[in-house]
Every structure is written in structure tokens, then in C-alpha cells.
Amino acid sequence: SWQATPGLFAYRADIAKAVLGTDDPTEVQKSLANWTKFDETAKKMKDKGYCMLSGYDDAYRVFSNTISKPLVDKKTGIINIDPQLEKWIDQTKEYTDKGYNNKTSLWDPAWSKQQTIEGNTFGFFYSTWGVNFTLADNAKIEKDGKSLVGQYRVCEGPASYFWGGTWLACANGSDNKTAVADIMKKLTCDKAIAKKITEDTLDYTNNKEAMNELAQSTTFGPEKCKLLGGQNHIKLFAAAADKIVMDKTTIWDQGFNENIQSAFKDFFEGKVTRNAAYWNFYKKLSTTYTEFEY
């Protein structure tokens, strides 16, 4: 992969000013420095007519990618409901019941709309691709000639996490192996190319030296980061990248993550009990991966 995907919290500067009295990332971070402060700020947002998060899944990766054990034991195949996942369930249920979120689901049109000028959501947990692609595109959408370009900022948020990654692969049987190998090595290992990718797309690439140069740049943010009002987000991503720990990943993670989020939506909406949501998750997982028996 040419990417590294550390995560941050992207928030609306205008809402931060209205509720917290400042949009400065360092000051805003003080109100989001841990989950207790994050919850306190969520109440302040609600009291002022805003939502802290858009929906059920927004904080999921911050919890699921800071687990203490793999989601599935690689030797025994035993499913692990980590305490961090329990915390996500508890928080999301509370936020839903108290009106701290807008009851949207990740990637739905209603969720995307909350990132536009028509939304009332304070912020979104995003890794690198989320900021420069998803959030940037939604922020451009105008209403009455106004948009949110320049109205977002990023800060560390309550916990370090990562989300995603995009990978290159050579097709089996390719008759261009030498050329393909050269392209893949250049895209993933060449410092100059890594730096150029970030300068052109604002993506966060996997070359530490290149990223540290941009992190220390006084011109990169003002010249390139219009979405963030000139803030150099690479500096924060560079600090977050060093905290990524990948030793808990398994081949079942994608299906596990998607199915537990889907199954617990009914619990958050009050349609099923917590135990029923767990059993529905187990059934979904056993359908996704036949090696798990329900």
C-alpha cells in the first residue's frame, strides 16, 4: 500500500465557535481529550441544537481498532466481544436515546448530508482518505451559494485509531511482471513520489520521511488544505501514525465489523434487546463465514 491510515476527528469550525467559543484545534482538543470530555461536549452540543455525531457507526472504528485482543482468536476461532466494543455499544445507545446523534448509518445519503452545509453535526471520525475524499466532496455541496469548504478542522480526538487502507496487487499470470513490479515499488517505496501524491491529493502516504517534511512545512497547509481553512492536517496524521498497532487484525475483521454494526442498529433504535442483537450478529457472522457455527 502507498497509504498509512491514522485517524483524527474532523469538526466544523463554525459549530465549535458557537458552542465552545473557539475553533482552534488545540483548544477544541481539550474538550475532546478523552471519552469523558467527549461525552460532556456532546451534551453541550445537544443543548445548543447540534448533534455530536451523525449516527450509529461514526465512533465504531475508534473503539474496534483499539481492542486488547483480536476480534476472532486465530487458533481457536472463538469470537471475542472486546470491552472496547461493549463501550461502543453503550455510548451509541446513550447518544441515540439522548439525541446526541442524528440516527444515521454510515454511507447512507442522510449521513453524507450531515457533512454538508445543511447538516447540524459537529464532527466525524475519519482517517486520511475520509478527509481528502469523502469529507472534501460533501463539504463542497452548496446551498444558497454557501458551502463548508474552509469550515472544517481536525484534532486528535479522544483516542488514537486507524481506519482502512488501499492496496496494490499484481494480477496472477500477468505478462508484464517487470513493469508492474517497477510501478508498485515506485508507488510504495519512492520518497519523492510519496510526497507528490500527498501534495496533489492530500492523502497520507506511507513514507515517514516525506510525511515529516510536509508536517513541518509552513506553506503546505495554507496552499493546499482549503477544506481545513489552511490547517496542515499532515502534522497531526504524522503523530497519529506512529501510534498505529496492527497486531490484532485477522482475516475475519471486515465481516465482523460490518455485521456487528448492522445487527446492533435494531438495538440502538429500540427494536430488539441487547441479547437479541448479539444473537442476530452471530447468525449474520455465521452466514458470512461458514466456518463459524451458530
Q: What pLDDT, in 10s, does the model give residues 263-292?
A: 999 999 999 999 999 999 999 999 999 888
Q: Please give the single-letter amino acid code of residue 121.
A: T
pLDDT recorded at residue 74: 84
pLDDT recorded at residue 294: 64
pLDDT recorded at residue 77: 83
Rounded to an integer, the average pLDDT of 189-211 is 96
Rounded to an integer, the average pLDDT of 49-76 is 94
- Asked whether residue 293 carries a pLDDT value surpassing 80, the answer given is no
| Bridge partners for 101 per DSSP | 53
The reported pTM is 0.95
pLDDT recorded at residue 29: 98
Which range (73-82, 204-213, 232-241) has the least confidence? 73-82
Those residues with Cβ within 8 angstroms of residue 282's Cβ, 6 or more apart along the chain or in another chain: 79, 292, 294
